[in-house]
Structure 1
């Protein structure tokens, strides 16, 4: 096995591991009762000062990001990581304001740094690679100009 294919498999495994972690995060936020992380997330979100159903929004974002991380395209992985940077910034801020114990507040900052690295590693060469063209402007090959229909 060549070094390149070994590193590619390792990278793919890493993305699958991250995707699995955030899939577990999604599942625990949608779970109605207590989880192996402690009390139900509806209670946690209420204790943090959010509406208890906000857990569904955060959980759905984690699910979408987890799926995007395992899709083997740089643009998808960038979008998933960027989405998680926003979610984890909110989580980290919440834990800082809540004055959570050290062991509870370490996961968000660690994952935030990891997602920033993943986003930077998958940074698109051009924003048009990430955002699909909307409206009547057709996607043109690089170096050409797309013309609008008149």
Structure 2
């Protein structure tokens, strides 16, 4: 896929989850649904849990737009955990499919993005990003030949 398309996809998904994070912090009804404080209570969670979920969504949205495979992987896996909880909540509470289709859809998308950004070695996630190595220029053939013959260049 083109690089522009993928960048646009990351930004679109980050916008969606940033908007979702804002609605979790919103005290009343939103233009999308009723207040999340009431929703979380109806689902059997404490009302303050919406702040935890909102913080995770907001942090993951930021990680998705940083142009690094490592940060995008961490953002996608964070959202996979959040979305697994959302899907499970919708299933346990027997929510109608019309109201709960977004969570499993986004879970699949985040799974694909996590796999696309999977690190070559899991220890790469724990290491600090390395600075690019500085290459020293190789001496030219004339300098090497002069040094070999014992002359100063």
Question: TM-score with structure 2 length normalisation?
Answer: 0.81
- Once residues 110 and 116 of structure 1 are traced to their aligned partners in structure 2, the CA distance between those partners, rounded to angstroms, is 10
Q: After the TM superposition, which residues 55-134 of structure 1 pair with which residues of structure 2 at under 5 Å, given as runs?
A: 55-132=50-127
Structure 1 residue ranges without an equivalent (≥5): 134-138, 140-150
Bigger Rg, which one: 2
> Deviation of residue 96 (structure 1)?
0.5
What is the distance in 2 between the residues matched to 1:94 and 1:36? 22
Deviation at 1:110, TM superposition (A): 0.2
- What residue is the counterpart of 2:18 in the other structure? 23
The aligned counterpart of 2:28 is: 33
- Offset of residue 112 of structure 1: 0.3
Q: Quote the RMSD (CA, aligned, Å).
A: 1.6
Q: Aligned partners of 2:97 and 2:119: how far apart in 1?
A: 35
Structure 2: state its 5+ residue gaps: 131-153
> Hey, what does 1:136 align to over in structure 2?
none
Query: How far apart are 1:35 and its partner, in Å?
Result: 0.7
Question: Deviation per CA, 1:26-63, whole angstroms, max 9, x where unpaired?
Answer: 00000011012221000000000000010000000000
The equivalent position to 2:48 in structure 1, one of 53, 56, 62, is 53
Distance in structure 1 (CA, Å) of the matches to 2:62 and 2:37: 24
Task: Name 1:148's counterpart in structure 2.
Answer: none
| Number of residue pairs the alignment of both structures matches | 130
SS of the equivalent of 1:81 reads helix
Q: Distance in 1 between matches of 2:82 and 2:31?
A: 21
Instruction: Write the distance in 2 (CA, Å) between the matches of 1:131 and 1:22.
Output: 25
Provide the TM-score with structure 1 as the length reference: 0.83
Please give the alpha-carbon distance, in whole angstroms, between the structure 2 residues aligned to 1:36 and 1:47. 19
